[in-house]
Amino acid sequence: MIPNEEKDEEESAMKKLISLMLAAVLLLTALPVMAESNGKALIIYFDYSENIDTTGLDVDAVSSASIAEGPGIRDRSNLLVMVDLLKDRTGAEVVPLHVEEVYAPMFDDMVGKAQADKNENIQFTFTEALPDLTDVDTIYFGSAIWWYGMPQPVVNFFQRVDLSGKKLMYFSINRGSRNYEVLETLAELQPDTDVFAEVSISAMQDNERTADEFSSWLDSIGL
């Protein structure tokens, strides 16, 4: 082998070694990120239209139970629109919360009881076992806002679980009040949870506008 060829072979071997070393460094650097991104996520929500007394109601009445009267008439609860968008974006499993002590199907008939539930710290009975959150890193939690805060069944949920060290996003629909009291309640009931994002959208508008607003907001936080 002539000297130049030997030199070229040594340089080639050195380049391969350097490339392998760089690849190993990049892999080790990426491992924490990869491990973090592999955490399990859940979408948990409490929707009024799924927790009503359906006795004597037809299918259309049931599906529209949480719909506000007025210019924002729509086909379904805006909260469920948001849940579906989150599922499409994240691929997370969806867990609805249902209670045995169901509400009156019309909003105006429901609100008085909802306030009494809150004032008396009523304890609701969930029809299904609460989800096992042991291996869950991120929770997307959704509800309506009633009397400036969480519906009482949602308060009960946060009273009965431990979200220490987990990341939480709270999304809601409202009739004028937003998530301020919700954030206060979370700080009290789950002080060791990282509430990394929150948003509240009007319950009075149509589904299409809600989908557009929520999609834009999800874009803004990188989901």
Taking the C-alpha atoms of residue 197 and residue 33, their distance in angstroms, rounded to an integer, is 20
Domain range for 102: 40-220
pLDDT value for 58: 63
Distance CA 32, CA 50 (A): 40
Percent with pLDDT over 90 in the chain = 68
Task: Write the pLDDT tens digit of every residue in 31-59.
Answer: 333 234 457 999 999 999 999 998 877 65
54 & 160 share domain: yes
Residues 51 and 98 in one domain: yes
Whether the CB-CB separation of 39 and 171 falls below 8 Å is answered with: no
Query: Do residue 20 and residue 4 come from a single domain?
Result: yes
Q: Say if residue 179 is in the same domain as residue 93.
A: yes
CA separation for the pair 186, 164 (Å, rounded): 12
Q: Distance (Å, rounded) from C-alpha 35 to C-alpha 46?
A: 30
Say whether both 142 and 167 belong to one domain: yes
The tally of domains found in the chain comes to 2
Same domain, residue pair 200 and 137: yes
Burial 168-192 (b: 16+ CB within 10 A, else e): bbbbbbbeeebbeebeebbeebbee
Q: In this structure, are 102 and 198 located in the same domain? A: yes
* CATH number of the domain within which 149 lies: 3.40.50.360
Between 26 and 209, residue with greater pLDDT? 209
Residues 91, 25 share a domain:
no
What tens digit of pLDDT does each residue of 91-103 get?
999 999 999 999 9
Grouping H, G, I as helix, E, B as strand and the rest as coil, residue 95 is strand
